[in-house]
Amino acid sequence: MNMDPEFLIDIVIDRRGPLAGNLLNVLLYGILTVQTYLYYLAFPNDKKTTKGIVAFVYSIDTAQTILALYDFYQPFRLNRDHLVRDYTTHQWLTIPLSGTLIATVAQLFYAHRIYTLSKKKVITGIVIILAISQLVFGLVTAMLLHGVAETANLPAAAVFYLGDYAWGPAGVVCDLVIAVYMTWFLTKQRRRSPSRKTQVMVTRIKRLVLETGLLTAAFATAYVLCLLVVGYNTLTIPGLTLGKLYSNSILVLLNNRFTIAGGRNEPVFEFEANSYHLSDLPRRESAEHGIRE
């Protein structure tokens, strides 16, 4: 069998970025699969809307993982005696389209939580506007990569900068707004409540929101930096995994209610993530399940 050694070496070197991106992508997909299984197992009585959100993001991530692995395999495929040099990819779907769809769902999910907790229409509206903005920019990027820009006679350079350089920053700003506001709001509520149970619960939610918000913002920033500084090929590392981070952040918040009966870390409160209001938070200590200071 005749192979071009130089071409093979070039492909292996060129595939370092996609290799790392796919490995991390598959790892996060495995975590998401376990989280999804535990969610449906532990919370069969959740609202259909919440279950639908989980099913949607998991379906998108499943399709994205399969297509990303197929794209990674393509350059190594043999056609008779030679490696395939010309092949098509689904990068428009595996990075901008899937990423922006899941990011929008996650950000609107948090917008609903913000309004449910604080009843602040202004901050909720800001989050919604930012989420829709990054959705539009992400769709523009997907259109460009899929070749729709040429058929629509759109300036390629303008769409490129509008899509890639606006999509990432819009997502970063939205994630930071969510993380900062939720942290500030929950900190304020924690100080107001005399209940130790409420303080423990609010601290846990605040930590989850802050950590997941900063993580998704960091990867969205890394996407833009890879594009600007390192090169287009390396953006597959943050690009492929960004959607998985948003999906896992949703499942982490929902599965935060999951406990093991009799476990050493079993909490002493119950928390329904479907419709949590401040009035639903526990206000007094239980005589039977007090927490030691």
DSSP class of residue 154 equals -
- Cα Rg of the chain, angstroms: 22
- Report the 10 Å Cβ neighbour count for 105: 21
| H or E element that contains 13 | helix 5-14
Which three-class secondary structure string do you get for 229-266? Answer: HHCHHHHHHHHHHHHHHHHHHHHHHHHCCCCCCCCCCC
Question: Rounded to an integer, what is the distance from CA 58 to the centroid of its chain?
Answer: 11
CA–CA separation, 96 vs 227, rounded Å?
13
Specify whether the CB–CB gap between 107 and 137 falls below 8 A.
Answer: no
What Cα–Cα distance (Å) separates residue 10 from each residue in 14, 20, 226?
6, 17, 20
Split the chain (293 residues) into runs of 10 and give each run's mean pLDDT: 47 60 92 95 92 96 93 67 57 88 94 89 95 91 71 57 76 90 82 67 72 82 73 69 92 80 51 45 43 39
Give the pLDDT confidence score for residue 1 in this predicted structure: 43
According to DSSP, the residues that pair with 82 across neighbouring strands are 79
Exposure of 96 in the CB half-sphere (CA atoms within 13 A): 24
Give the pLDDT confidence score for residue 215 in this predicted structure: 85
Q: Which domains does the chain have, with CATH numbers?
A: 13-257 (1.20.1070)
- Report the 10 Å Cβ neighbour count for 86: 5
